[in-house]
């Protein structure tokens, strides 16, 4: 007997599980098919810090959402509001005005409401003091429009999602890769072909199918084809299972491709990191405090503006800049003044590629940087730092450099206080930007811009939101906003379709 579900969701990350919760509000039988085994549950979402970019008018508005709170900290917390207008501006600015206007408007308008919905489902939130605030004059000052994260990061996010799914009777089936989609005689999508390892292929029928199987960042061949030469060599920050076959199955069926196919999110990633994500260290292999120091290549030369903006608005495009350097590696440098401000968890994680020395020359020799080149860079940089501006890491302080290229626009301080520290990094790819085109209800559009009946999508597999760059925390938020919309619409469509079938 062929199995039947009201809604099948393909992919068990944050977008897929958000879709499953929303579908379950509409229909009884919801199945999540996940390619990985349970030991790799959660896709890329597991590897995240659980940071959600949501909007709020005040700290008070977030208080009812906080499941982990410390009153003493709260008394000393300075959290500037982050409005839908600011979120919209950040999306437009980071994507150079290319983000899809309709989808982006929904993302920024529904972020806060979607967070409340996730909280009702059982997701637990906290303020990310450790990652998104600095202590200035006795206060914890948040910066960069990002404050809210899940308790226990991405690991907590997936645990809480799966608990919520189990509690509402959603079935999650691991080791169940979807290899194709099925259509009925009217052309409507009516199921999937699943190919569990070592077993016969299964046809599973469904009233509607939501695709949430991630991008193609873990597929070296597709990375080279779409991102360009050299990208096959990038380290993958998250799951090895996002290899693009579901995305390409939908394209083969007539879905419209959309978004920045030669673009991706990529960051500074520890040079000793394994080829794919590490389930224990997850996002600790990233190195995100570079705005406080300088970044050089193996010749000792700077190649980017470390202080162009808060880390949240530059980190996702700096992996690609590192990729362009000799051997695709770079070094983040700090001194005794800035080292205490580094994100502790990332810079002291086990096995981190860290070097320490009392002189710049010795540091260069230990780290494998050209010593003459580095000494010259540091001397020139130190001389270029504006002395009369006060350093403040919690605002864009305008303490930049004068007369050097590239300039450092904010947070420039001379590297002059030993010991000195170097951290070796390479390019870690997070996710790809190209994907399927959806309408506001998550319906997949065909090449004529018409909805493909029965087919919905959400998450990294959707294109059109991110181009060139990305505001930190927008991936999980977009996955939940559009996962919820897609799941709800899929559930409704499935119900109506069944009613019609019964009537005819
Ligand atoms: C290290 C790291 C840190 C990050 N930190 C953050 C953060 O703090 N905040 C933020 O907003 N974003 C962050 N991101 C980005 C974020 O992970 C993504 O935007 C988001 O998780 C995407 O969710 P998704 O559900 O679309 O994809 P995923 O979570 O990757 O889920 C896709 C799922 O589909 C499954 N799948 C793939 N192919 C098939 C198939 N054929 N059949 C069935 N299932 C299949 C995969 O196994 C996977 O489980 C981070 C990413 C990484 C890697």
Residue pLDDT, tens place only, 277-294: 999 999 999 999 999 999
Can you tell me whether residue 65 is helix, strand or coil?
A: helix
Distance 214 CA to ligand 1 centre (A): 6
Sign of CA dihedral 24, 106, 440, 218: negative
Residue ranges covered by each domain of the chain: 3-263+433-503, 267-428
328 within ligand 1 shell (Cβ under 6 A): no
DSSP 80-114: --B-HHHHHHHHHHHTTT-S-HHHHHHHHHHHHHH
Distance 14 CA to ligand 1 centre (A): 7
DSSP 390-414: ---TTS-----BSS-SS---SS---
Q: How confident is the model over 298-304, as a mean pLDDT?
A: 98
Which atom of ligand 1 is the closest one to the Cα of 33?
43
Distance 239 CA to ligand 1 centre (A): 7
Reduce the secondary structure of 9-62 to three states and give it as a string: EECCCHHHHHHHHHHHCCCCCEEEECCCCHHHCCHHHHHCCCEECCCECCHHHH
Which amino acid residue places its CA nearest to atom 1 of ligand 1? 283
| 175-198 confidence digits (pLDDT tens) | 999 999 999 999 999 999 999 999
Domain 267-428, CATH: 3.90.700.10
Residue 1 has pLDDT above 80, yes or no: no
Cross-strand pairs, 202: 194
pLDDT, position 504 = 80
Contact 483, 23 (CB under 8 A): no
pLDDT, position 477 = 98
Q: How big is the CA angle at 97 (ends 95 and 100), to the nearest 5 degrees?
A: 85
User: Pick from 143, 144, 149: which is nearest to 51 by CA?
Assistant: 149
pLDDT, position 405 = 98
Structure-token pair, residue 274: 């394994």
Mutate-to-test residue for ligand 1 from 21, 34, 39, 44, highest number of ligand atoms within 8 A of CB: 44
Residue 502 has pLDDT above 90, yes or no: no
Residue 148 has pLDDT above 80, yes or no: yes
Mutate-to-test residue for ligand 1 from 177, 475, 484, highest number of ligand atoms within 8 A of CB: 475
217 within ligand 1 shell (Cβ under 6 A): no
Q: How confident is the model over 209-213, as a mean pLDDT?
A: 99
How far CA 194 is from CA of 2, 173, 181, 211, 212, in Å, comes to 12, 11, 9, 13, 15
Residue 503 has pLDDT above 90, yes or no: no
180 within ligand 1 shell (Cβ under 6 A): no
Residue 222 has pLDDT above 80, yes or no: yes
Distance 241 CA to ligand 1 centre (A): 10
| 486-500 confidence digits (pLDDT tens) | 999 999 999 999 898
Residue 164 has pLDDT above 80, yes or no: yes
pLDDT, position 10 = 99
| 85-112 confidence digits (pLDDT tens) | 999 999 999 999 999 999 999 999 999 9
Q: Mean pLDDT score of the chain, rounded to an integer?
A: 97
Distance 43 CA to ligand 1 centre (A): 5
153 within ligand 1 shell (Cβ under 6 A): no
Instruction: State how far the Cα of 7 lies from the Cα of 454, in Å rounded to an integer.
Output: 9
Distance 333 CA to ligand 1 centre (A): 30
Residue 364 has pLDDT above 80, yes or no: yes
CATH fold of 3-263+433-503, please?
FAD/NAD(P)-binding domain (3.50.50)
Mutate-to-test residue for ligand 1 from 8, 9, 10, 11, highest number of ligand atoms within 8 A of CB: 11
Distance 99 CA to ligand 1 centre (A): 20
Distance 332 CA to ligand 1 centre (A): 27
Structure-token pair, residue 222: 């597709």
428 within ligand 1 shell (Cβ under 6 A): no
Cross-strand pairs, 82: 56
Residue 61 has pLDDT above 80, yes or no: yes
| 377-436 confidence digits (pLDDT tens) | 999 999 999 999 999 999 999 999 999 999 999 999 999 999 999 999 999 999 999 999
Structure-token pair, residue 357: 């020395």
């Amino acid at each position: 007997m062929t199995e039947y579900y009201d809604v099948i969701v393909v992919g068990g990350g944050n977008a897929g599980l958000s879709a499953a919760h929303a579908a379950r509000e509409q229909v009884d039988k919801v199945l999540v098919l996940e390619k990985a085994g349970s030991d790799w549950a959660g896709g890329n979402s597991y590897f995240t810090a659980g940071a959600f970019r949501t909007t709020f008018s005040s700290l008070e508005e977030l208080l009812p959402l906080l499941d982990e709170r410390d009153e003493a900290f709260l008394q000393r917390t300075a959290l500037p509001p982050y409005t839908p207008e600011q979120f919209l501006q950040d999306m437009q600015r980071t994507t150079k005005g290319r983000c899809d206007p309709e989808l982006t408007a929904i993302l920024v308008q529904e972020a806060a409401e979607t967070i409340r919905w996730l909280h009702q489902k059982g997701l637990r939130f906290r303020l990310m003091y450790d990652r998104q605030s600095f202590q200035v004059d006795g206060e914890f000052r948040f910066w960069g429009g990002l404050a809210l994260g899940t308790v226990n990061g991405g690991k907590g996010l997936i645990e809480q999602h799966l608990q919520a799914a189990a509690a509402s009777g959603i079935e999650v089936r691991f080791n169940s890769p979807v290899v194709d989609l099925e259509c009925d005689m009217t052309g409507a999508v009516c199921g999937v072909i699943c190919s569990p390892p070592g077993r016969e292929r299964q046809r599973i029928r469904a009233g509607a199918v939501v695709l949430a199987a991630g991008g193609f960042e873990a597929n070296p061949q597709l990375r080279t084809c779409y991102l360009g030469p050299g990208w096959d060599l990038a380290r993958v920050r998250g799951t090895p299972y996002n290899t693009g076959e579901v995305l390409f199955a939908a394209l083969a069926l007539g879905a419209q491709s959309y978004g920045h196919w030669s673009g991706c999110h990529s960051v500074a990633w520890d040079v000793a990191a394994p080829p794919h994500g590490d389930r224990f260290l997850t996002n600790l292999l990233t190195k995100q405090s570079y705005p406080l120091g300088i970044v050089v290549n193996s010749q000792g030369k700077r190649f980017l503006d470390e202080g162009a903006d808060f880390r949240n608005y530059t980190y996702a495009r700096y992996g690609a800049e590192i990729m362009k350097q000799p051997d695709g590696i770079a070094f983040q440098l700090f001194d005794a003044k800035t080292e205490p401000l580094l994100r502790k968890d990332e810079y002291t994680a086990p096995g981190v590629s860290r070097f320490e020395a009392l002189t710049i020359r010795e540091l260069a020799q230990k780290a494998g940087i050209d010593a003459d080149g580095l000494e010259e860079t540091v001397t020139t940089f130190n001389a270029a730092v504006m002395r009369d501006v006060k350093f403040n890491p919690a605002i864009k302080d305008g303490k930049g450099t004068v007369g050097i290229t590239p300039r450092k626009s904010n947070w420039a301080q001379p590297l002059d206080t030993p010991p000195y520290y170097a951290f070796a990094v390479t390019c870690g790819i997070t996710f790809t930007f190209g994907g399927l085109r959806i309408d506001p209800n998550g319906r997949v559009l065909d090449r004529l811009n018409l909805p493909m009946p029965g087919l919905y999508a959400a998450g990294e597999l959707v294109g059109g939101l991110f181009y060139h760059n990305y505001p930190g925390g927008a991936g999980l938020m977009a996955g939940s906003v559009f996962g919820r919309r897609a799941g709800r619409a899929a559930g409704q469509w499935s119900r109506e379709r069944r009613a019609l079938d019964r009537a005819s």
